[in-house]
A = this chain, B = another copy of it.
Amino acid sequence: MALDLTTFLSDNAKSMRRSAIRDLLKVANRPEIISFGGGFPNAKTFPVDNLKEIINELLDEKPAQVLQYGSTEGSVALRTQIAKKYEKEGVKVGIDNILITTASQQALDLISRIFLNPGDTVLCGLPSYMGALQAIWSYQGRPVGIRHDEEAEAVVSALCSVGQKPKFIYAIPDFQNPTGVTMDLKRRQEIIDVARKYDLIIIEDSPYKELRYEGESYPTMYSMAPERVVLLGTFSKTFVPGFRLGWVLAPEEIIGRLIVAKQSADLCTPILNQEVAAKYMEKGYYDKNLQTTIDLYRHKRDLMHQYLTEYMPQGVTWTRPEGGLFLLVSMPEGLDAKELFEVAIKENVAFVIGEVFFCDGTGQNTMRLNFSYVSDEDMLEGVKRLGNAIRKLMDSKK
């Protein structure tokens, strides 16, 4: 007797949405395709020699520790290094304010798990990171979008008036995914003021903050309101993504709840991976390598901007981020990036369709481009191909 799965699935499972990004990356995996799709760091930034040195040292010095089970909250050495990193920025945190996660996606999952009941609303950027929307949907939460220039209080107060006060606000204040746009100090303060007034928690997702290529850094929202901000950090963009290491910085009582949730989610994050990252920071490799990464990505962002200027047809616009890995391209209204994708794949170039980041179903004319991953040569060729694809799509609509 074959299984009819539909009779078994939970309401959570029915509410989950498959990642369009990850499916698309599979298509884009074909060697002839130049992909601006994934949020992949450039492999040139991977500190291979440092890693070999550190892994060999750790396996010599304390194999019984780094290969064994570890505590759910994470390595003391790594949490200590992370605390020091914030202290250098002037933010005082103890290691009991830090939970190590199996990268940031797990943090988004655990946070959604401990806060969301089915139907609960979450205030998100419009557009916002697809993986965060997925985590929210997977607990039957309901993301509600707010545009970058929309008044936060108006949106929250409207939601409250219909009994849908958000469970939390999800924000990526620095070089937002997918737009690359940064919240200025005034906007940060506005969001915090609203959160205080309506008693809301803020989730500050901060994977790109250290990857600033020009201009001055703004303070984290955590430093501005440590009593109600949960800050997510990750080693995926500034160290290596394959190690799957991230962290949560939050008030101790929230960390305590997240620890219980993580116990049943995966017991603990890989120990060797954590100890390697700790030693990598301790030896000063993190700061040193971060600087060369910033220099490389600044160059790539500039190049991307130059090539887009040269090869995009008239009517196409894009953001010009001061950091991060992405920019958002907009075609004239009425053109659909899903249709473009079909054309582009034939031209052997790929990107992420923008609408997956818009929880209200808009954004059809947009696409996210990553500029960190491809080589300079591929970037030139890829932008040319993309320009051709857009022209073909435009011509077909005439």
Query: Which residues from chain B contact A103 at a C-beta distance below 8 Å?
Result: 266-267
Determine chain A's interface SS by DSSP, over half rule.
Answer: helix
Query: Which residues from chain B contact A272 at a C-beta distance below 8 Å?
Result: 242-243, 273
Interface centre among A18, A240, A267 (most CB of B within 10 A): A267
Contact check, A269 vs B244: say whether CB atoms are below 8 A apart: yes
Q: How far is the CB of A260 from chain B (nearest CB, A)?
A: 5
Contact check, B109 vs A138: say whether CB atoms are below 8 A apart: no
Contact check, B102 vs A102: say whether CB atoms are below 8 A apart: yes
Interface assignment of A105: CB less than 8 Å from any CB of chain B? yes
Interface residue from B52, B105, B273 paired with A59 (Cβ < 8 Å): B52
Interface residue from B8, B55, B242 paired with A271 (Cβ < 8 Å): B242
Residues of A within 8 A of B (CB-CB), count: 85
Q: What 0/1 pattern do residues 6 to 41 of A give for CB contact below 8 A with B?
A: 011111110011110010001000000000001011
| A contact residues vs B (CB 8 Å cutoff) | 1-3, 5, 7-13, 16-19, 22, 26, 38, 40-41, 43, 46, 48, 51-52, 55-56, 59, 63-64, 66-72, 102-103, 105-106, 108-109, 113-117, 120, 131, 134-135, 137-139, 167-168, 196, 199, 201, 227-228, 236, 240-244, 251, 253-254, 257, 260-261, 263-273
Q: Could you list 12 A-B pairs, sorted by A, with CB under 8 Å?
A: A3-B201, A5-B253, A9-B115, A19-B264, A46-B64, A69-B241, A69-B242, A109-B265, A131-B267, A243-B270, A243-B272, A265-B265
